[in-house]
Structure 1
Amino acid sequence: MDTRMSDAAPIRLVIFDFDGTLSDSGDWFLSVVDELARKYKFRTVQPDQVDMLRHKSSREVIEFLGISKWKLPLIARHLRRLVGQNAHQIELFPGTPDLLEQIAATGVRIALVTSNAEANARKILGPEHAARIDLFACGSSLFGKAPKFRRVLKKMGMKPHEVLAIGDETRDVDSAREVGMRVGSVLWGYAAEELLIAMQPDVLFRAPQDIIDYVAANR
């Protein structure tokens, strides 16, 4: 775990991203990306391009694939339907169940903000783990997390400095900073470690246990 912030306010709420942070959906997504590319007429991803794309920001990936902005909501809706049909093929990252249990046990509240659908997230989490999450704010647009973050803060009565947002992509860092929240990046998701380090989040997590330890030390 690498941290840049030592004197911040106590954490009262952790907001998690889902895909690539709690849910290990990367390989499944790669298995359907060609289907999406054919339907929505954007560039397919070759196996030898995957690592290169992991070193690009979210916006750079969209540009590389040649996806028009107006197609993004259509692709997102289609992808949510596919996830719903194939949720049984997607598993949580090892350590996710214990992560949610341990954070909930500290009294720190948990929210989920994702572009995925709430029904999909609940299916993949399962009833026991989904019950650890106090608020689901799902179905955000690809670059529309900041408004979701603000609504979560308002509903839960939190100030930005009391919140830690955790994700695995550059857009997660950008959105959290736009709202003024502390931001942590996990190094087991979609974006490459070097790319996330360059984004300079407040804390980098190398394993789920790092999140548990950080929240326990800063609540």
Structure 2
Amino acid sequence: MPAYSLVIFDFDGTLADSFPWFCSILNQTAEQFDLRPVAPEEIEGLRELGSREVIAHLGVPLWKMPMIASYMRRLATEAATDIQLYPGVAEALEALADAGVRLVIVSSNAEAPIRQVLGPAADLIDHYVCGASLWGKAAKFRKVLSQLGIAPAAAIAIGDELRDIDAARDEGITAGAVTFGFNSAAALRRHNPDFMFDSFDDLRKTLLR
């Protein structure tokens, strides 16, 4: 029996193994927007930080963030053929859908590359909410709940970053986190989500208990 009637997924770092790609375009993006380059040895330290702390650490002016987000969405579209789903994603999505669970993706990425990476599994998703701003997910969650007529207590939001946990909590939604995305497992654990998943097999078994 499904534990929740609605599962809201983040995409990059949650369903898609896009963190290596993200690291590969960091300095290209830094050069494009006249920011300091990121040294390879900084990456692991950044995984311990929240998004606001990362931006402060890298010295990124907030007024540049919308332009940076747009630029990175374009790069993500170009790289969609090179980004893969994590093992077990398609099987987990199919099992959830077969159990009658509504599936939604809320992402800062664009819908076209998300669908391309998902492949046939894209048709299992009931609703795509794309182009969310860095700290705009809570409002997107609220809109999804309203549109689908689902109470917050019947939903779980699953992401890979501290801000995903915060957004879920802001809307009274259960917060789930995967341990293999942007933020490290230790950083996520310190943020105390309701659930932590080490694999999609683990996620499927927990949500369909």
Aligned to 2:9: 16
Amino acid at match of 1:13: L
1:141-160 map, 5 Å: 141-160=133-152
Shift of 1:10: 4.5
Amino acid at match of 1:30: C
Q: Contact (CA 8 Å) 2:106, 2:129: kept in 1 or not? A: yes
Aligned to 2:72: 79
Q: Is residue 97 of structure 1 aligned with residue 93 of structure 2?
A: no
Aligned to 2:117: 124
Q: Secondary structure at the match of 1:131?
A: helix
Q: Secondary structure at the match of 1:70?
A: helix
Q: Secondary structure at the match of 1:110?
A: strand
Shift of 1:107: 0.8
Amino acid at match of 1:194: A
Q: 1:109 & 1:143 partners in 2: Cα distance?
A: 24
Aligned to 1:191: 183
Structure 1 residues 55-79: Cα deviation after superposition (integer angstroms, max 9, x where no partner): 1111111111111111111111111
Q: Is residue 69 of structure 1 aligned with residue 82 of structure 2?
A: no
Amino acid at match of 1:104: A
Shift of 1:156: 1.0
Q: Secondary structure at the match of 1:91?
A: coil
Amino acid at match of 1:181: I
Aligned to 1:36: 29
Q: Secondary structure at the match of 1:18?
A: coil
Q: 2:122 & 2:48 partners in 1: Cα distance?
A: 31
Aligned to 1:48: 41
Amino acid at match of 1:21: T
Q: Is residue 175 of structure 1 aligned with residue 167 of structure 2?
A: yes
Q: Is residue 135 of structure 1 aligned with residue 118 of structure 2?
A: no
Structure 1 residues 104-149: Cα deviation after superposition (integer angstroms, max 9, x where no partner): 11111100000000111011111x1000100000100011101111
Shift of 1:42: 2.0
Q: Secondary structure at the match of 2:60?
A: coil
Q: Secondary structure at the match of 1:204?
A: strand
Aligned to 1:206: 198
Q: 1:97 & 1:176 partners in 2: Cα distance?
A: 23
Q: Secondary structure at the match of 2:117?
A: helix
Gaps (5+ residues) in structure 2? none
Shift of 1:43: 2.5
Amino acid at match of 2:182: Y
Gaps (5+ residues) in structure 1? 1-8
TM-score by length of 2: 0.97
Aligned to 2:108: 115
Amino acid at match of 1:16: F
Structure 1 residues 184-208: Cα deviation after superposition (integer angstroms, max 9, x where no partner): 0100111011110010000111111
Shift of 1:152: 0.8
